[in-house]
A = this chain, B = another copy of it.
C-alpha cells in the first residue's frame, strides 16, 4: 500500500472537462472500475482502415514484478487475446520508430451503469455510472512465467479460484494459441455519477409538473443466475467456491447500485450528462 494516494497525471486528452467534479484521477478508484468490468473496450488505430478499431476484451490490472501490489499501486493492464487477431499482430510487429518501441498506443474503457436517473425533464435524465479510461502502450507478453501469471489473474477474475479448480497448467499447444498483451499505462481518468435526480429551479417550482411526473432512480445491476450444468458435467453439486461467489457477487453489486442511488459523490451537482 503506498503511503500517499497515487494519482494519474492530467493530460489534455485524459482530463475530465465537462462536469469536472465527477472526475477522478486516483489509481485505486480507476483500477477498481477496470477490475470489476467483465468486458473492456479496447481502441487503437488501424493502419488500413479509415476508422479506428474497437474490440471487447477481457482484462485485469496486475503487477508481475510485485504480485502482492494492491489496487492503489502502479499496475499494468493485462489483456487476453489471440495471436491471430489484428491487435496482437499490430503489437507484435517490428517497431518502425523509436516511439513504436513502447508498443501500440491503445485506449481502454471500462464502464458500469448503476442506475437510471429519472428527472422531471428529458434533459435532466441521466445514469448513475462509473466509467474509467486508461491510455497506454500494448506489447505482447513473451515471458512464459509472466504469461501464466496473467492467465491465472484473468481466469480468476471470471470466478475467483477457478484457475486452481480447472485443468492446469496449460499445455504447450494452449500456451502457443493464447496471447496476452501487457499495457503499460501512461495515464487515465474516471468519471462517476451517483445520487438522485436534480432538476432546474423553474421545473421544481411547477407544482402541476411535480404532481404528474415520478422522479427517482431505478437501480441497475448485473446478476449471476443459477449455474446450469453442461452436457459432460459429472460433478453433482455446484462447488462451494462457485455457489458462494454467485451469492456474494449478487449481494455486493445490488447493494452498490442501491447505495449509489442515495449517495452523492460529486461535490458540485450537475445532472445534464
Contacts and interface: CB of A to CB of B under 8 A. Distances in A.
A9 to B, nearest CB: 13
B226 A214 contact: no
Nearest to A85: B18
A39 B130 CA distance: 11
A267 to B, nearest CB: 18
Contacts of A127: 38-39, 58
A118 B159 contact: yes
Contacts of A177: 123, 272
A123 B226 CA distance: 23
Contacts of A204: 232
Nearest to A148: B122
A53 B120 CA distance: 32
Interface string A244-267: 001000000010011001100000
A71 interface: no
A224 B234 contact: no
A68 interface: no
Interface string A105-119: 111110101001011
A230 interface: yes
Nearest to A224: B218
What 10 pairs between A and B have smallest CB-CB spacing? A219-B225, A13-B49, A43-B43, A196-B230, A41-B41, A214-B235, A216-B230, A216-B229, A51-B135, A56-B111
